[in-house]
Amino acid sequence: MISFTKTLSNSEERRQWLDLIDDTGRSYGHAFPPHGTDLVIITGYRTYSAVKHGENQIGGDFRDWYSDEDAHAGDVIRIEYDEKAPERFGGVPIRISFLARAAHDVPEVPGEGNAQDKAEADSCTPTPGLQPLRRLNKQGIDRFADFLDALPMQPSLACPTYLLTAPEFSEEVVPRVGIEHRTFGSRFAAAEYLFTLFRQSGLTAVEQDQGLWAWLSSFYFDELCPADARGRRRPGERARWLLNLSARRYYRHLLAGAYSVYQAHEDKPERTIALLCSPLHQTSDIFLELADSQELVTNKSVMEIATILYYDPHSGKPKRRVARNYPGGARRLGEVLAQFDCTWDLYSVDMKTLLGMLPKEFDRFRSQ
């Protein structure tokens, strides 16, 4: 993954191109596709056609990007290129996001109120470069569900991104919140970002907001449902995308499930890392076995034990042979703890005591 930040220059804005050079003068053009390669620029939920030009520039018909994104000299952007990412819409995907906007003169409009009113209105505006957070309405959820149902038969079908902004399918949340289109890498990172975003913005009662989580699933669809080498996507069961409010199915939602686990342990979220260290589109056996039980997934001692037993801090991944069918694996831990719960109140048992109560079959994970 190539990622760097840069400040747009006057010459770039004037000529409507991008130099692949960061603010320190370091050049990245050699790491990008060769001259003449068709590119697809992704900014938020919009896409633009471009071409790699020469050794160190992105050019072609790039005016739309400058115009639609209101890009100007002085804006700070991040450019990301993953050489392993499959082509999209006939071009190599390049992600560009705005980190900061330069100040531009905006003429005062008569009748728009005094300076204090304008300042208060501006405080409700999402940070520049972010997208307004929205929720799908019933029509939007139904349209998204239709897309998910069609995808197995048409695995290269494009996600209906118009649902994200079309007023007939979605609406902005209140209070207004700006959200960044980013790549998380893990379920933990996504849960941490969403938890912080909701907490800092004052947005509440999100846990059962089906329209909000459906919108987020569509917004982050590329990472939640990555295409294989042939461009095919496999979305899996509906509960991964559309929030099922039943206790046994809620945690199947790829985003809401991870968020709820993180939220339940907001005092020390790192204890949940064994459940949430997998890529955003994957639900691990550890997660499936423990998150399926409200009593287990909200228990601090149980979560700490799962992380001690099954998480490898050196690789950032689960340890080997923790799958359901192995002795001492995640399924056995759930079964043993369920037996313990018949005799003891697990919420009152401290982590060290509970860990010491586990059968010897778990010793091989303790010693790793």
Residue 141 contacts residue 214 (beta carbons within 8 Å): yes
pLDDT of 118 above 90: no
In terms of pLDDT, which residue wins out, 215 or 16?
215
| Per-residue pLDDT tens over the stretch 352-366 | 999 999 999 999 898
Burial-class residue 368 by CB neighbours within 10 Å (0-12, 13-18, 19+).
exposed
The residue extents of the domains of the chain are 2-100, 183-366
Alpha carbon separation from 84 to 39, 81, 229 (Å, rounded): 14, 9, 9
pLDDT of 24 above 60: yes
Alpha carbon separation from 337 to 148, 288, 304, 353 (Å, rounded): 36, 15, 13, 13
Kindly tell me the sign of the dihedral angle through the C-alpha atoms of 341, 345, 347, 353: negative
pLDDT of 122 above 70: no
| pLDDT, average across residues 143-164 | 87
- Supply 368's token pair: 């790793």
| pLDDT, average across residues 178-184 | 92
Phi, psi of 102 (to 5 degrees): -70, 150
Given its phi and psi angles, is residue 236 left (phi above 0), alpha (psi -120 to 50 degrees) or beta?
Answer: left
pLDDT of 104 above 60: no
| pTM across the whole model | 0.65
pLDDT of residue 84: 87
Kindly report the CATH class assigned to 2-100: mainly beta
Mean of the per-residue pLDDT values of the chain: 87
| Per-residue pLDDT tens over the stretch 208-255 | 999 999 999 999 999 999 988 888 889 999 999 999 998 778 999 999
pLDDT of 50 above 60: yes
CA triplet 301, 302, 307: central angle to 5 degrees?
Answer: 100
Residue 367 binned pLDDT confidence (cut-offs 50, 70, 90): low
In terms of pLDDT, which residue wins out, 231 or 189?
189
pLDDT of residue 368: 65
- Rounded CA-CA distance 227/232 in Å is 5
| Per-residue pLDDT tens over the stretch 252-291 | 999 999 999 999 999 999 999 999 999 999 999 999 999 9
- Rounded CA-CA distance 67/15 in Å is 13
Side-chain-facing half-sphere of 234: CA atoms under 13 Å: 5
Side-chain-facing half-sphere of 246: CA atoms under 13 Å: 5
